[in-house]
Amino acid sequence: MLRINSTYIVIIALLAPGFPGFSTLASAQELRDPMKPPPFALQKFRQAKWAGKPTTTKAKLGKPKQESLQLTSILYAQDRKIAIINDQMLAVGDRIRGAELVKLTRATARLVRKGKIINLSLDNELTAIKKEAVESDL
């Protein structure tokens, strides 16, 4: 019984506000990083760093630039004609970015956007490869 009472006395003594170990824990929270400069020095550094530089940037206003339309390939058959423009499959009458596909041939596609005609054609390399493949089959 005496041993249990002495254990309680030690615990109470450790938790008492006047105990030196308890105050050391409280002051440890108040310690600051010795390598960190004081707040006034940080403020002076920031002012010197940004001196003469604009604080805000102005956005350029104007028409947003639309990406160009690129004809990748054409699937041309009697029963259906499909153009692949910017990785989208389009038939005559379909729209892409406000432009309507109005005409499709074996090597070209014609689109109309706001009354302006846009003619797209396959790269010469692609048509040359296609011609070689067809001629080699003969």
DSSP bridge pairs for 95: 100
Tokens of 18: 């006047």
Tokens of 52: 């003469």
In tens digits, the chain (138 residues) has pLDDT values of 555 566 666 666 666 665 555 555 555 567 777 787 778 888 888 888 878 776 666 666 666 666 688 888 888 888 888 999 888 999 999 999 889 999 998 889 999 999 999 999 887 555 555 556 555 555
Tokens of 30: 């108040």
Question: What separation in angstroms does the CA of 109 have from each of 50, 51, 78, 114, 121?
Answer: 54, 56, 16, 17, 6
Q: Residue 131 has what pLDDT?
A: 57
Q: Residue 125 has what pLDDT?
A: 57
Q: Residue 34 has what pLDDT?
A: 78
Q: Classify 11 as helix, strand or coil.
A: helix
- Rounded to whole angstroms, the Cα distance separating 19 from 12 reads 10
- Asked whether the whole model's pTM tops 0.75, one would answer no
- The CATH number of 71-137, from 3.30.60, 2.30.30, 2.60.40, 3.30.70, is 2.30.30
Query: Looking at this protein, which amino acid is placed at residue 30?
Result: E
Q: Residue 7 has what pLDDT?
A: 64
DSSP bridge pairs for 120: 109
- Rounded to whole angstroms, the Cα distance separating 89 from 136 reads 29
- Rounded to whole angstroms, the Cα distance separating 100 from 96 reads 7
- Rounded to whole angstroms, the Cα distance separating 127 from 25 reads 81
Per-domain residue ranges of the chain:
71-137
